[in-house]
Amino acid sequence: MNLRRPNVLSAQAPASGLCFQRLACESAERERPLQMDPIAAFEQYEKEALAALESAADADALEAARVEFLGKKRGRLRDLQGLLGKAPPDQRPLLGRRFNEVKNRVTEAWQRRKQELEKPEAVRAQLDITLPGTPLRLGRRHPLTQTMDEFKDIMGRFGFSVAEGPELEDEYHNFVALNIPEDHPARDPLDNFYLAAATTATKGLRPDGGSIMLRSQTSTVQIRVMERTKPPIRIVSLGRVYRPDTMDATHSCMFHQMEGLMVGESVTMAQLKTVLRLFATAYLGGDVHIRFRPSFFPFTEPSVEVDMSWRGDWLELGGAGMVDPNVLRAVGYDPEEVTGFAFGLGIERFCMRRHHITDIRRFYENDVRFLEQF
């Protein structure tokens, strides 16, 4: 009996002569289906149909597969039906049953896939959306950054704007213009980070031919602001300063200061004390007392050390005073016309006091267990 039907897969073969030629030349692998018996053709059809339906990624792809494998007008199913019609009559009941079984399985596979594609993505991907998610670790601002932001905010409410200055400074702004003479111990190379390479590279560029260094104080910004601004002035400048100190619980070779400067007609020391008291009260909350102790700084006259008492303990905050007439003259101001006050406070100290931090090194170790508490 002859159950063969040479053109059983003709629906797949393109109609152009060129392609027929190519098809004929291709390997025996590809030619075999052309001589397939109906049972083998059914199997091949089922295999291909199930694979196509299963891999249909969306409704459009599934519909295309349905038209190809189950379409009534010109799908592959019709080819198989034709094959059935050509089989000898005694074979037909068996082949007919097989044909129906295959057709039913393919139809079921299509329905299954259709239902699956209609489900939400999460269900299809077998995601358990009730499982707890992976927690995101949220970053936060460093406690010192938070403190500085708060300082700027408070001083902003008193009319002080924020000024910036370079951390890599020249001797002129760090010392000379601040009335700190050549032989002053504060200029000792052992007490400062002078940069040998930068100094060589910039020799002759500075009017005074001085060295380049990491600034040892934020008072440098007073000079930079006054050089480019006419009074009245009300600024604060916050940032890093560098000194070759040995690290311990209260010292660090890099720390932060807030510099303040107010210059104008008849600015007084009483205003200085009021600003400092209001500032400390705003940061720490009531019950703050400010105490001035006589001191000396080359850039202020008179000069004071500023102490603060809060909740019964005294804490040294930094230095302050009335801007020295020599400094005003160095930036081209007339000390007969304007006066000013200045102060420089350690930022770490304030923050440590408020948060009961006992070791300054905690700020710089990047230990998340510490940083997470702020």
H or E element in which residue 326 lies: helix 325-330
CB nearer to ligand DAH: pick between 36 and 322: 322
Minimum CB separation of residue 270 from ligand DAH in Å reads 16
CB 345, min distance to ligand DAH, A: 8
- Sheet harboring 212-214: ordered strands across? 168-170, 212-214, 193-194
**Cβ proximity of 190 and 244 under 8 Å:** yes
Q: Are 148 and 238 in contact (CB under 8 A)?
A: yes
| Shortest reach from residue 212's CB to ligand DAH, in Å | 19
Beta carbon nearer to ligand DAH, 292 or 370: 292
**Which C-beta is closer to ligand DAH: that of 5 or that of 303?**
303
Torsion of CA 215, 219, 223, 226, to 10 degrees: 140
Residue closer to ligand DAH by CB (options 79, 169) is: 169
Nearer to ligand DAH, 48 or 301 (CB): 301
**Which residues on neighbouring strands pair with residue 259, listed in sequence order?**
237, 344
Asked whether the beta carbons of 318 and 292 are under 8 A apart, the reply is: no
Supply the minimum distance, in Å, between the C-beta of residue 311 and ligand DAH. 25
Residues interacting with ligand DAH, by CB under 6 A? 217, 219, 259, 297, 300, 303, 318-321, 342-344
216: CB partners within 8 A, 6+ apart: 174, 186, 191, 192, 193, 241, 242, 243
Distances (CA, A) of 26 to 14, 16, 126, 213: 14, 16, 42, 80
Left (φ > 0), alpha (ψ -120 to 50) or beta: where does 318 sit? left
CB of 334 to ligand DAH, least distance (A): 20
- The minimum distance between CB 366 and ligand DAH, in angstroms, equals 26
**Residue 118 or 191 with smaller CB distance to ligand DAH:** 191
Least separation in angstroms between residue 342's CB and ligand DAH is: 3
Which residues, in sequence order, are CB contacts of 244 under 8 Å at separation 6+?
190, 191, 192, 193, 253
Q: Which is nearer to ligand DAH, 217 or 339 (CB)?
A: 217
**Cα distance between residue 192 and residue 196, in whole Å:** 12
How far is the CA of 124 from the CAs of 58, 127, 180, in angstroms?
A: 12, 8, 76
